């Protein structure tokens, strides 16, 4: 009788032990195609200028919204894709001050699945834009950051935050 | 009596001549904009001074002197007639008469960043028998915020940046600046050869608050640098009108401010 009880407990313990396996999770929908989300034509809707040194020192007057100083709304940025991969870009400044030193060329990203940086290239010139967030169905805005660093001291002096809409 | 008077006048004239000497300007500071906490390199060229041809030269430097008073000596100003080794410049190889000296404001003047406003120096022989004139004042970029009548945003800009210029009349100190009705700001841009970019800009002011006025521009949007050149500096001053005794408008301006443009990447 004791043997039967022992074997039953052993069987149940074994059953519990083998039952404690992690469940495999099924994928939730399809993976976001962030490069496609970035691609297409964008219009500049907001420009913010940050004095990085003043911000670092805790001074007042560190950030200014400069959207209304110039006709930034006339600036259009287009990222083209070829076979789903980044290819060419164009920037039509309109009557706005240029936001980069190049207005056409090729673009690429640092990570095709989860890009953080967009690189714009024309000949020997390469300019970087840092992505603030991916456009999606909830927030359709493209947010990028362009930094200005002092060559002499290598200090970050100015940050421009650009917000684009379709 | 007459002789005494002539002697006194001669001494006064000599004294005036001595104090009106041209400042020693043949030097550079790298980086051109620095705080009291940054290490800077001063490169001097003593060609044409009493020290020309000397192999060894020394620095004598002081901070915060205003109108001949309030100077704070550096820790290397130990004895005028016997400069210490810590004050010795390093000769620039292959360039006679050129010397370099590295310093950090807070260290050499033994002051906090908030206490340091600007500094001057001269170059001398070890025994002080030969020396250059004093340099003009070299300003430290402030580490504590000091409200001022004229302000630029951002505080450091390059030739392609959007520059906002502010006139805060509440902080004006002269009667003209306090009374003026602000109208415009005059901006003149210079390239790396020192040449003016063209006719100075006259930017219309916008009232953006109580006694607060603003104008903005982008240097390379207003002017195009010549081939192989770049803009390195601009000056600005605010203009306005005041009424004279006959109630007639008279144009007045603030003092001009020099701004060094940073080279950005």
**Residue B126, domain CATH:** 2.60.40
Domain membership of residue B19 (yes or no) is no
Domain membership of residue B5 (yes or no) is no
Answer positive or negative: Cα dihedral of B152, B154, B156, B159. Answer: negative
For residues B255 and B156, membership in a common domain is answered with yes
Which residues of chain B does A48 touch, with a Cβ-Cβ cutoff of 8 Å?
none
Answer positive or negative: Cα dihedral of B186, B231, B101, B108. Answer: positive
Q: Is the omega angle on the peptide bond into residue B154 within 30 degrees of 0, that is, cis?
A: yes
For residue B101, which of B118, B121, B115, B79 has the smallest C-alpha distance?
B121
B154:A51 CB<8 A: yes
For residues B66 and B87, membership in a common domain is answered with yes
Q: Which domain holds residue A72?
A: 34-165
* pLDDT tens profile A66-96: 999 999 999 999 999 999 999 999 999 999 9
* pLDDT reported for residue B17: 43
* pLDDT reported for residue A15: 58
B162:A60 CB<8 A: no
Of B31, B155, B161, the CB nearest to A152: B31
Domain membership of residue A129 (yes or no) is yes
Q: Is the pLDDT of residue A25 over 80?
A: no
Q: Nearest-CA residue of chain B relative to A61? A: B153
* pLDDT reported for residue B47: 96
Provide ipTM, 2 decimals.
Answer: 0.81
Q: Is the omega angle on the peptide bond into residue B3 within 30 degrees of 0, that is, cis?
A: no
Report the gap between the CA of B263 and the closest CA in chain A (Å). Answer: 6
A97:B151 CB<8 A: no
For residues A112 and A129, is the Cβ–Cβ distance under 8 A?
Answer: no
Tokens of B29: 């500071």
Q: Nearest-CA residue of chain B relative to A57? A: B143
For residues B213 and B233, is the Cβ–Cβ distance under 8 A?
Answer: no
d(CA A109, CA A111): 6
Per-residue pLDDT 10s for chain B (265 aa) are: 555 545 544 444 444 444 457 899 999 999 888 889 899 999 999 999 999 999 999 999 999 998 888 899 999 999 999 999 999 999 999 999 999 999 999 999 999 887 898 999 999 999 999 999 999 999 998 888 889 999 999 999 999 999 999 999 999 999 999 999 999 999 999 999 999 999 999 999 999 999 999 999 999 999 999 999 999 999 999 999 999 999 999 999 999 999 999 999 9
Q: Is the pLDDT of residue A4 over 80?
A: no
- Number of domains comprising chain B: 2
3-class secondary structure, A132: strand
- Number of domains comprising chain A: 1
* pLDDT reported for residue A20: 59
Residues 6+ apart with CB under 8 A from B248: none
Domain membership of residue A131 (yes or no) is yes
Who has greater pLDDT, B55 or A19? B55
Domain membership of residue A6 (yes or no) is no
Which residues of chain A does B262 touch, with a Cβ-Cβ cutoff of 8 Å?
150-152, 157
A56: confidence class by pLDDT, cuts 50, 70, 90: confident
Q: Which domain holds residue B32?
A: 24-139
Average pLDDT over residues A25-53: 88
Burial A31-64 (b: 16+ CB within 10 A, else e): eeebbeebbeebbbebbebbbbbbeebebebbeb
* Residue position matching structure tokens 């870009």: A89
Domain membership of residue B4 (yes or no) is no
For residues B157 and B106, membership in a common domain is answered with no
Tokens of A11: 């069987």
> Count of A–B CB contacts within 8 Å?
76
For Cα atoms A17, A21, A24, give the angle at the middle one, nearest 5 degrees.
170
* pLDDT reported for residue B55: 96
Domain membership of residue A74 (yes or no) is yes
Average pLDDT over residues A106-120: 95
Report the gap between the CA of A36 and the closest CA in chain B (Å). Answer: 29
Report the gap between the CA of A109 and the closest CA in chain B (Å). Answer: 20
């Amino acid at each position: 009788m004791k043997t039967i009880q022992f074997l039953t407990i052993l069987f149940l313990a074994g059953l519990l032990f083998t039952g404690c396996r992690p469940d495999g999770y099924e994928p939730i929908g399809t993976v976001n195609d962030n490069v496609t989300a970035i691609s297409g034509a964008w219009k500049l809707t907001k420009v913010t200028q940050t004095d990085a040194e003043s911000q670092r020192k805790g001074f007042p007057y560190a950030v200014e919204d400069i959207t209304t100083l110039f006709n930034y709304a006339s600036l259009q940025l287009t990222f083209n894709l070829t076979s789903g991969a980044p290819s060419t870009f164009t920037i039509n400044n309109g009557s706005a001050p240029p936001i980069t030193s190049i207005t056409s060329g090729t673009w690429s990203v640092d990570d095709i699945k989860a890009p953080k940086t967009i690189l714009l290239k024309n000949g020997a010139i390469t300019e970087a834009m840092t992505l603030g967030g991916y456009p999606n169905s909830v927030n359709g805005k493209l947010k990028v950051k362009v930094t200005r660093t002092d060559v002499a001291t290598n200090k970050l002096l100015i940050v421009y935050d650009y917000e684009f809409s379709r | 009596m007459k002789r005494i008077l002539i002697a006194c006048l001669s001494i006064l004239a000599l004294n005036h001549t001595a104090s009106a000497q041209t400042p020693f300007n043949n030097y550079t500071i790298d980086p051109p904009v620095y705080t009291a906490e940054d290490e800077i390199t001063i490169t001097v060229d003593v060609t044409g001074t009493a020290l020309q041809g000397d192999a060894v030269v020394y620095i004598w430097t002081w901070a915060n002197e205003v109108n001949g008073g309030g100077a704070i000596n550096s820790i290397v100003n130990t004895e005028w007639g016997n400069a210490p080794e810590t004050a010795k410049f390093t000769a620039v190889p292959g360039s006679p008469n050129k010397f370099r000296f590295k310093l950090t404001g807070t260290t050499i003047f033994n002051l906090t960043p908030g206490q340091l406003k600007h500094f001057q120096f001269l170059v001398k022989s070890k025994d002080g028998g030969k020396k250059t004139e004093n340099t003009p004042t070299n300003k430290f970029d402030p580490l504590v915020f000091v409200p001022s009548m004229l302000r630029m945003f951002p505080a450091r800009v390059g030739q392609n940046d959007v520059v906002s210029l502010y006139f805060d009349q509440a902080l004006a100190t002269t009667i003209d600046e306090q009374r003026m009705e602000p109208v415009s700001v005059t901006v003149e841009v210079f390239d790396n050869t020192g040449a003016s970019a063209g006719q100075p800009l006259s930017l219309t002011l916008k009232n953006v608050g109580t006694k607060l006025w603003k104008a903005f521009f982008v240097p390379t949007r207003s002017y195009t640098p010549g081939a192989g050149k770049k803009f390195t500096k601009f000056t600005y001053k605010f203009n306005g009108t005041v009424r004279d005794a006959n109630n007639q408008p008279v144009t007045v301006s603030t003092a001009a401010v020099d701004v060094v443009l940073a080279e950005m990447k």
